[in-house]
Copies of this chain bind each other. A is one copy, B any other.
Amino acid sequence: MDHAHQHEHSIERELECVSQVPIFQRLADEQLISVAQVTRPIHADKGGTVFSTGEVSQTLYIVNTGQVRLYHLGDDGREQVLRVLNPGDFIGEIALFTDEVHSSYAEATKKTELCTISRQSLTKLIAGMPELSMNLLGALADRLKSAERQATLLAIPDALPRLAGYLQELSGHQAGTFDLPMSKQDLAAYLGMTPESLSRKFRQLTTDGVIETVGRRQVRVTDADELATVAPE
């Protein structure tokens, strides 16, 4: 096999990955190449494992295409979904600063392409690219914001406003149709309730004329004002 050609091909693929990811946006072409050079692509088929609990990692994973589901496994075997990673999302940022022992499983829900960057490489990159660190800081701040929002939602004892608040956020506070980012049973775990309760709350909102469920994963908000009334704050 032609080694040079192999190398070329590799860089191409990595550039494609790197260039599509938000945290590498607004970088000059030559900077993008620097990033691509330390990037290693990973592939996972549907149902495939990206990493498991207990693994020690010094790697940042960035989803290029596909989708990755992050979840905990409780002692009772129930899966608690932490987050769903879509293209552009990343995980492993803690590995940049400490030897992270993953406390969750990462599983591809469909054919998925990821880029990985080692801690060492990324540290070097940051030292020479202030824009990159600003991008990373911005992405982390966004995630922090949504994690705190989720915590605020989950602190609400009643299930209905908890769901309403979640839907309100997903819908962008206005009427319209959108897709749920995960299955309803995963969503139930995410919102801290059982699938049965979630189903009943969906029904209640539908009966009250606030929303309509279009298929299995689509929701249409028909009365955004009423949704805001049910939702907290």
Q: Which residues of A contact B (CB under 8 A)?
A: 72, 74-75, 80, 82-83, 93-94, 96-97, 123, 126-128, 130, 133-134, 136-138, 140-145, 147-148, 150-152, 154-157, 189-194, 232-233
Please tell me which one of the listed residues B126, B127, B140, B193 contacts residue A144 in the complex, with CB atoms under 8 A apart. B140
- The answer to whether A144 and B94 touch across the interface, beta carbons within 8 angstroms, is yes
Question: Given the complex of chains A and B, what is the CA–CA distance between A156 and B154 in angstroms?
Answer: 9
CB distance from A65 to the nearest CB of B (A): 24
Question: Given the complex of chains A and B, what is the CA–CA distance between A138 and B96 in angstroms?
Answer: 8
CB distance from A227 to the nearest CB of B (A): 14
Question: Given the complex of chains A and B, what is the CA–CA distance between A190 and B123 in angstroms?
Answer: 35
Question: Given the complex of chains A and B, what is the CA–CA distance between A137 and B145 in angstroms?
Answer: 15
- The answer to whether B141 and A96 touch across the interface, beta carbons within 8 angstroms, is yes
Question: Given the complex of chains A and B, what is the CA–CA distance between A82 and B149 in angstroms?
Answer: 10
User: What number of copies of this chain does the assembly contain?
Assistant: 2
Question: Given the complex of chains A and B, what is the CA–CA distance between A233 and B101 in angstroms?
Answer: 15
Which of chain B's residues have a CB closer than 8 A to the CB of A138?
Answer: 96-97
Which of chain B's residues have a CB closer than 8 A to the CB of A74?
Answer: 232-233
CB distance from A155 to the nearest CB of B (A): 4
Question: Given the complex of chains A and B, what is the CA–CA distance between A72 and B72 in angstroms?
Answer: 28
- The answer to whether B144 and A93 touch across the interface, beta carbons within 8 angstroms, is yes
Known contacts A151-B147, A192-B154, A192-B155; A134/B123 CB under 8 A: yes
Question: Given the complex of chains A and B, what is the CA–CA distance between A83 and B155 in angstroms?
Answer: 13
Question: Given the complex of chains A and B, what is the CA–CA distance between A192 and B94 in angstroms?
Answer: 27
Counting chain B CB atoms within 10 Å of each CB, the highest count among A83, A150, A155, A191 belongs to A155
Known contacts A75-B232, A127-B130; A97/B141 CB under 8 A: yes
Q: For A135, give the chain B residue with the smallest CB separation.
A: B97
Q: For A129, give the chain B residue with the smallest CB separation.
A: B130
- The answer to whether A141 and B232 touch across the interface, beta carbons within 8 angstroms, is no
CB distance from A85 to the nearest CB of B (A): 13
- The answer to whether A75 and B233 touch across the interface, beta carbons within 8 angstroms, is yes
CB distance from A195 to the nearest CB of B (A): 12
- The answer to whether A192 and B75 touch across the interface, beta carbons within 8 angstroms, is no
